[in-house]
Amino acid sequence: MTGQAEERRTLNLNMGPQHPATHGVLRVELELEGESVVKATPHIGYLHTGIEKTGESKLYYKVIPMTDRMDYLAPMSNNLGYCLAVEKLLGIQVPEKVKYARVCLTELTRLKSHLVWVGTHPFDLGAMSMGLYAFRERESIIDVYEAVAGQRMMSTYFRIGGLAEDLPGNFDKVVKKAISDIRQGLIDYNRLLTDNKIFRNRTIGVAKISAEDAINCGLTGPSLRACGVNYDVRKANPYTGYENFDFEIPLGQNGDVYDRYLVRMEEMRQSLRIVEQALDGMPEGPYRAHVPGVVLPPKEDVLSKMESLIFHFKIITEGFRPPRGAVYQAIESPKGELGFFISSDGTGKPHRMRVRPPSFVNLSALPKLIEGALVADVVAAIGSIDIVLGEVDR
Amino acid sequence: MSLTTIAVIAALKVIVFLGAVLTGCAWATWLERKLVGHFQHRMGPSYAGPYGLLQPIADAIKLIFKEDFMPDGAEKIMYTLAPMIAFIPALLSFAVIPFGDEVTIMGQQIDLVISDLNIGILFIFAVTSLGVYGIVLAGWSSGSKYSLLGGIRSSAQMISYEIAYGLSIIGVILVAGTLSMKELVVQQASFFDWFIFRQPVGFVLFVICAIAETNRAPFDLPEAESELVAGYHTEYSSMKFAMFFIGEYANMIAVACIATTIFLGGWQGPLFPPVVWFAIKVFLFMCFYVWLRATLPRFRYDQLMNFGWKALFPLALLNTMVTALLKTIG
């Protein structure tokens, strides 16, 4: 039971893979001295799904549904990353309406992912009601998903060169409801947590990481910005029209759990601003690019025009063939920089698809965060870097 | 009154009180689940019976029929004894709590307390502090690391808070000049005589320490599910687990009863009969417990210790000293 070290006796504790606070099937091997952690080793791979490898044997457009299943809390962000990468490979420009719809929906996705986080993270710290309050607000975003895609979780709504279908008639209404619900929710969470003495005690100064260490670990997303490093792909390398939107990147100072909390809370407010702007500025127009042979033609054309019917048939059965080459496209997913590397050998299937998952890279900073801390801090640290095991293992 | 009558009355009282307390424990679980449910925009139990009122019975049946599991690495005797050690002291404390005033049934004067000990409070403190052994032994004998950590946390916590817990009521005892529970209630005849007004600091200290003593949120570290899975009772199942469970709720009710008796005027109140008033006050105190659980995050182990030793303990000492000083002067 106890391992005999040279001088001191330590206790080896396996946290996970079945543990309530590891957010899935993460196993952390802890070496404990009393309640403090001497050494921590995360073990991953319990949720390996082989998405990258499977991608090599599927037609380009058939990879999209698999990307939903990586970070299953932010499916549309994954869709977007993949679609943008393939569009870059093909050199396709999408219509303005598609850009606005994508921004609107990915920001809602960011809210959805952060809401799950603001529910589960304080839940791990013992504030059990937060979990249910946040999931209540998340429901209204799921309703938006349902309205646009018919699916509540694995929406698979984005397509290469556009969207699966046009936005529904009640899009404005459901999104506005989501915005007002979340606004109210944020006020409530603020009241319950931000100045809560116990919550502050549990998070301020806990699992600290310096900006330098964070960069060396490859940390991205809110966890990096909590250290005060101003890096957000949306600003640094704008994609899908983010340069047209007015929003701020919240920064922290101390790089502890509390700053990560504040950064994410502020990000949610900024996301709401972006969603509103996208909704107000939503242009009229087609919901798919007009690229014959690559992007599916509109359904009414398929039913009335011969060329469209042929293209439709050919795209569905044998896909399209992008030129030889390799692209890397990064987006700011709720967890950090989500990158897709796709190499094409000129056939209908990706030669190699590689994902740079933010959760995986952020997880590598975990030992640094928790060594020397207490067992209770391990839970706080895992929660604060906001990982999704589906994305870690892919 | 003949000896036989006394014996019969005593036996009846024990049976009735024990039945009431155990029933109370069972429906305290329902109350907690229902209230937390509503706090969190859920329904809570609603399938078993009207408003889910039969849920405790369903739970009991389920627990009885569960496999009684024992891990290989467990110390068999201690593992079996531990739940009983946690369970029995929780019930013993009810022996000295006065549920109401004297009543006359069939020409007999009956005190609504099993035994009006002249050192009632001391008895309660002595008995409830035994419960920690059950938890420590459970943590140690399970042969599981999570249980062990839970057991260690719990023992450290309960020992630390015991002192402030005890000191918090010394003020009341100083003012009242008695250790008998019944006598304490009699002294709080009018509303503003309640000890909550005469000893406000003592009351706050008492409530905080009592919550820590009973391992409830925000001091529920020994069973912190997000850290230690279920703490000291991780490996327990079936009725052994149920004993811990009932023990915890019995402790909560006991604390609510003690708070009611010492600080909130016991059974006294207008209009309703004494027993009803007692029940109302205990009920409200239990709701307070649940409210805290639904709202607050959990302390960390070291913060809990700091809070106990560096904040509560000195404050309790100070309160005692000031009370003693005022008593001597005035």
> Is A376 in contact with B36 (Cβ distance < 8 A)?
no
The answer to whether residue A302 sits within a structural domain is yes
Tell whether A231 is covered by a domain: yes
The answer to whether residue A276 sits within a structural domain is yes
CB nearest to B225's CB, from A20, A201, A376: A20
Peptide bond into B218 cis (omega under 30): yes
Residue A273 lies in a domain: yes
Q: Is residue A159 part of a domain?
A: yes
Beta bridge partner(s), residue A343 = A326, A352
Contact present, B79 and B86 (Cβ < 8 Å): no
Q: CATH no. for residue A301?
A: 1.10.645.10
* Least confident piece of the model among B50-54, B72-76, B293-297: B72-76
**Between A262 and B199, residue with greater pLDDT:** A262
- DSSP per residue, A344-376: E-SSSS-SEEEEE-HHHHHHTTHHHHHTTSBHH
Do B300 and A201 lie within an 8 Å CB cutoff?
yes
Q: Quick check: is A329 in a domain?
A: yes
B292 CB near a chain A CB, below 8 Å?
A: no
**Nearest 5°: phi and psi at B42?**
-120, 175
What CA–CA distance (Å, rounded) separates A343 from A326? 4
DSSP-based three-state secondary structure for A29: strand
Taking the CA atoms of B209, B215, B216 and B219 in sequence, report the sign of the dihedral they define. positive
pTM: 0.85
Percent of chain B with pLDDT over 90: 0
Question: How is residue B310 written in tokens?
Answer: 């560096």
ipTM: 0.77
- Taking only residues 114 to 173 of chain A, the set having a beta carbon closer than 8 angstroms to any beta carbon of chain B reads 122-129, 132-133, 136
**What confidence tens digit (pLDDT) does each residue in A316-352 have?**
888 888 889 899 999 999 998 999 999 998 888 899 8
Q: Is residue A3 helix, strand or coil? A: strand
Residue B34 has pLDDT above 50, yes or no: yes
pLDDT value of position A1? 46
All residues of chain B having their beta carbon less than 8 Å from the beta carbon of residue A202 are 297-300, 303
| Domain positions in chain B | 71-329
Contact A1 B218 (CB under 8 A): no
Q: Which helix (H) or strand (E) holds B313?
A: helix B313-329
Q: Per-residue pLDDT for A204 more than 60?
A: yes
Distance from CA of B225 to the nearest CA of A (A): 7
By three-state DSSP, how is residue B202 classified?
Answer: helix
Q: Which two tokens stand for residue B129?
A: 């502090």
For chain A, the helix, strand and coil percentages under 3-state DSSP, each to the nearest 5: 50, 15, 35
Domain of A232 in residue numbering reads as 43-392
Token readout for A85 is 């990468």
Report d(CA A159, CA A320) in Å as an integer: 13
Q: Are A387 and A213 in contact (CB under 8 A)?
A: no
> What secondary structure letter does DSSP report for A192?
I
8 Å CB contact between A381 and A370: yes
Reference B184, options B112, B100, B119, B262; nearest CA is B262
Query: Is pLDDT above 50 for A34?
Result: yes
Structural domain total, chain A: 1
User: Residue B94 has what pLDDT?
Assistant: 83
**Where on the phi/psi map is residue A264: left (φ > 0), alpha (ψ -120 to 50), or beta?**
alpha
Cα–Cα dist B157/B213, whole Å: 8
- pLDDT grade for B1, boundaries at 50, 70 and 90: low
- Evaluate whether residue A335 is within a structural domain: yes
Measured between CB atoms, does A201 come within 8 Å of chain B? Answer: yes
